[in-house]
Amino acid sequence: MTLTIRLFIGFLIGCTSFCAAQIETHNYKRALNDVNDEWHKIALPEAVFGKVNSDLSDLRIYGITKKDTIEAPYLLKVLSEKVVSKTISFDIINKTKGSNGYYFTFQLNSEDIINQIDLNFKEQNFDWRIELQGSQNQQEWFTILDDYRIMAIKNETTDFKFTKLDFPDAKYRFFRLLVKQKDQPELQSAQLFKYEITDGSFVNHPIKNTVTTENKQQKETTISLDLKQSVSISQLHINVGNTFDYYRPLKIEYKSDSIKTEKGWRYSYRTIKNATLNSLETNHFKFSNTIANHLKITIYNGDNQPLTLKDISVKGYEHQLVGRFTEQAEYVLAYGKSSARTPNYDIAKFKTKIPKGLKALNIGEEQVIVKQTQAKVKPLFENSYWLWAVIIVVILVLGGFTLKMLKKS
């Protein structure tokens, strides 16, 4: 056998050992059953999120064969909503005053459908009622929004604005905005949109425990939410029971770390959202995907009475892996490796070639990966008396040879 062949065989054995060792660097695995096509999708179980890196960089798909262990490439997909917003061109052709207030007329430059108008007024503090109408010829007008409320508040503690008009799809050549206000408002700009959103795939996360605390001195309400386990969250909805108008600054945090001290556990929190809880909108707050099992919501009441909260719900997007399986093997999903980096697979550059309608794999229960420990090398002499006996014998032998050499000389 030549040296080149020996080196090649050694390289293959080394690669096999390396791949097998890669699985053992993870802490957990789950069997992927019924792999019979080249492409499959895998829905990540909720229990996985408590044991993976925050960026999911440690997810790996390994295939175990009789000869070696291979790594299957995958594409991570977060099944969030898809939002498409098209800006519509228009001109403001009239600014007039009527008996009911001030009118602004928008003329579209094309026959487009719109369903959203974003208004920008120079005034920073106002509370107005508006009416929106549509017409094809400016002779006959049809009501789209009636007695719709817009508001802006800006002071040392609050910077809140609600000036976006949402309404069903409307196709008119002219739109007329009536601001029911005695003093003339200064409309600095406006934007017309066709706004489309496709539903994402959500997972509702049950709340295990809720604790509400009123701090009268700090004038704030704190709500602590414990989820059943660590999960990926991206939305929080607060249902307020009060019927009066309100707007309160709001902060959403998650527990990021904990330290045990002499006085007990001390927790660290990170902010994931600053917003305003208000009576004009649906209090539905979206934020970046965050893995958490405990949330803290702080409502700053100021001099107002605390709000009555009826219900709070937490949601997250479904996470899905799309994997390519080119060989017959026993495949597993491995995870739980803090030092892992996000893999860079070729399939990420060819997403359009991934087939549609993929079959979902059945994923097994979680298994702890047992680490193979190296056998401890036993010393040649476990008993120290044997070691001393050998040393004495060696000394005597060397001494005997030395005496013989001295006598001869």
HSE-up (13 A, CA, CB side) for residue 345: 20
pLDDT grade for 404, boundaries at 50, 70 and 90:
confident
Token pair for 243 = 């019927």
- List for the chain the helix, strand, coil content (%; round to 5): 15, 55, 30
8 A C-beta contact, residue 299 and residue 218: no
The string of pLDDT tens digits covering residues 51-95 is 999 999 999 999 999 888 999 999 999 999 999 999 999 999 999
Q: How far apart are CA 269 and CA 233, in angstroms?
A: 16
Burial 4-43 (b: 16+ CB within 10 A, else e): eeeeeeeeeeeeeeebeebbeebbbbbebeebeeebbbbe
Token pair for 341 = 């980096």
8 A C-beta contact, residue 369 and residue 24: yes
Burial of 188 (0-12, 13-18, 19+ CB in 10 A): exposed
pTM over 0.85: no
8 A C-beta contact, residue 104 and residue 95: yes
Q: Of all helices (H) and strands (E), which one includes residue 392?
A: helix 384-408
- pLDDT tops 50 at residue 14: no
- At 13 the pLDDT is 40
Cα distances from 95 to residues 75, 106, 178, in angstroms, run 53, 10, 10
Query: Pairing between strand 187-198 and 220-240?
Result: unpaired
- At 409 the pLDDT is 59
- Domains along the chain? 83-198 (2.60.120.260), 202-317 (2.60.120.260)
Query: Pairing between strand 39-43 and 359-360?
Result: parallel
The string of pLDDT tens digits covering residues 257-291 is 878 777 777 889 999 999 999 999 999 999 999 99
The string of pLDDT tens digits covering residues 364-390 is 999 999 877 655 555 655 666 767 777
